[in-house]
């Protein structure tokens, strides 16, 4: 019943923001289906830009990105719009740094937002969800072990619980890809591990391709099979965690490793 992951192929993907700032400088990158990739880099390196191009939240200026059967292109090409773009997005779940839940409504309603693409407009407007969709949402909540809170307002949950609800929302899409943009940056160290473990488990059990941006190098090393280092809109490292030594670190961060860059060190502070 569950679907497998999709591969993601960047071809010379370029993003120039309206103010002229180069967010991505011609990235070419191949992420095979089912891989868990950690993206690290300084703040402003272009990590968010990279993942946000994958579901079209940030439009490409040039080049292309193929996600499963869909291709996003820059302004020159035939840009995905309307229903086609939404179809691509429905195959790609996204987890945000600040959880992005509608805090005043219930947990289950938040998870059901993952089914919006598949719901006809009248059901959406009336809030009359299909039983199948509710079942899917419940199962997603069970997978992140928080189904007991289904009917509570999202605002009443702790940060870690809210992020797990957000993961369930992404899972409810039955996605082929999950993107996570600094998913643990608002959480304390122990909770960060819970959330990262959830993402890793989803990747392992469901075969969903996971691309996760992380500020902390050690978290990325621990949880991802492949590490991508970014700096100034370019990829400066692509390899396994084991290969990422001190020299590689300097090329990504432009300086040597400090306690600031490691979650465990901060946890001990």
Strand partners, 179: 94, 211
Half-sphere exposure of 130 (CA within 13 A, CB side): 12
Is 78 a binder of ligand ADP (CB under 6 A)?
no
Between 43 and 131, CB nearer to ligand ADP? 43
Report how far residue 73's alpha carbon sits from residue 55's, in angstroms, rounded to the nearest whole number: 12
- Nearest residue to 149 via CA among 208, 105, 106, 115: 106
Half-sphere exposure of 40 (CA within 13 A, CB side): 29
Residue 267, helix vs strand vs coil: helix
Question: What is the per-residue binding string for another protein in 60-89, x denoting contact by CB under 8 A?
Answer: ---------------------x---xxxxx
Is 57 a binder of another protein (CB under 8 A)?
yes
Beta-carbon neighbour count of residue 18 at 10 Å? 6
Is 7 a binder of another protein (CB under 8 A)?
no
Segment near another protein (CB under 8 A), from 67-75, 141-149, 220-228, 235-243?
141-149
Beta strands, E only, the chain: 8-16, 22-31, 36-41, 62-67, 70-73, 92-95, 177-181, 209-214, 226-231, 234-239
Question: Which positions touch Mg ion (CB under 5 A)?
Answer: 48
Phi, psi of 214 (to 5 degrees): -140, 145
For 186, residues 6+ apart whose C-beta sits below 8 A from its C-beta are: 97, 98, 99, 159, 163
Supply the minimum distance, in Å, between the C-beta of residue 179 and ligand ADP: 12
State which of positions 16-35 bind ligand ADP (CB under 6 A): 17, 19, 21, 23
Supply the minimum distance, in Å, between the C-beta of residue 52 and Mg ion: 9
Is 231 a binder of ligand ADP (CB under 6 A)?
no
Between 17 and 69, CB nearer to ligand ADP? 17
Report how far residue 244's alpha carbon sits from residue 207's, in angstroms, rounded to the nearest whole number: 25
Q: Which residue of 17, 77, 132, 145 would you call a contact of another protein, by CB under 8 A?
A: 145
- Nearest residue to 199 via CA among 229, 174, 168, 241: 168
Q: Which residue of 3, 21, 75, 103 would you call a contact of another protein, by CB under 8 A?
A: 103
Strand partners, 242: none
Q: Which does 41 bind (CB under 5 to 8 A by kind): another protein, Mg ion, ligand ADP, none?
A: ligand ADP
- Name the one residue in this structure whose structure tokens are 């941006």: 213
Residue 224, helix vs strand vs coil: coil
Between 48 and 161, CB nearer to Mg ion? 48
Q: Which does 166 bind (CB under 5 to 8 A by kind): Mg ion, another protein, ligand ADP, none?
A: another protein
Is 45 a binder of ligand ADP (CB under 6 A)?
yes
Q: Which does 19 bind (CB under 5 to 8 A by kind): another protein, Mg ion, ligand ADP, none?
A: ligand ADP
Residues that bind another protein (CB under 8 A): 48, 52, 55, 57-59, 81, 85-94, 96, 98-105, 109-110, 112-114, 116-117, 119, 121, 124-125, 127, 138, 142, 145-151, 158-162, 166, 169-170, 173, 184-194, 215, 266, 269
Residues that bind ligand ADP (CB under 6 A): 17, 19, 21, 23, 41, 43-49
């Amino acid at each position: 019943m569950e679907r497998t992951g999709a591969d993601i192929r960047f071809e010379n993907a370029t993003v120039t923001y309206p103010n002229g700032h180069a967010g991505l400088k011609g990235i070419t990158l191949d992420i095979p289906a089912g891989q868990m990739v950690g993206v690290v880099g300084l703040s402003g390196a272009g990590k968010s830009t990279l993942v946000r191009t994958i579901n079209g939240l940030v439009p490409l200026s040039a080049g292309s990105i193929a996600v499963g059967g869909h291709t996003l292109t820059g302004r020159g090409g035939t840009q995905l719009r309307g229903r086609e773009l939404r179809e691509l997005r429905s195959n790609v779940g996204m987890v945000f740094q600040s959880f992005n839940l509608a805090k005043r409504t219930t947990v289950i309603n938040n998870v059901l937002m993952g089914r919006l693409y598949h719901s006809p407009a009248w059901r959406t407007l009336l809030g009359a969800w299909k039983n199948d969709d509710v079942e899917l949402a419940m199962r997603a909540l069970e997978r992140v072990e928080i189904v007991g809170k289904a009917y509570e307002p999202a605002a009443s949950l702790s940060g870690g619980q809210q992020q797990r609800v957000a993961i369930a929302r992404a899972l409810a899409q039955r996605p082929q890809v999950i993107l996570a943009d600094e998913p643990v940056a608002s959480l304390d160290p122990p909770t960060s591990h819970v959330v990262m473990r959830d993402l890793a488990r989803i990747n392992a059990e469901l075969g969903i391709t996971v691309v996760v941006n992380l500020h902390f190098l050690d978290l990325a090393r621990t949880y991802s099979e492949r590490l991508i280092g970014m700096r100034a809109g370019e990829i400066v490292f692509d390899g396994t965690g084991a290969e990422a030594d001190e020299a590689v670190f300097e090329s990504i961060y432009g300086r040597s490793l400090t306690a600031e860059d490691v979650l465990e060190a901060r946890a001990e502070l």
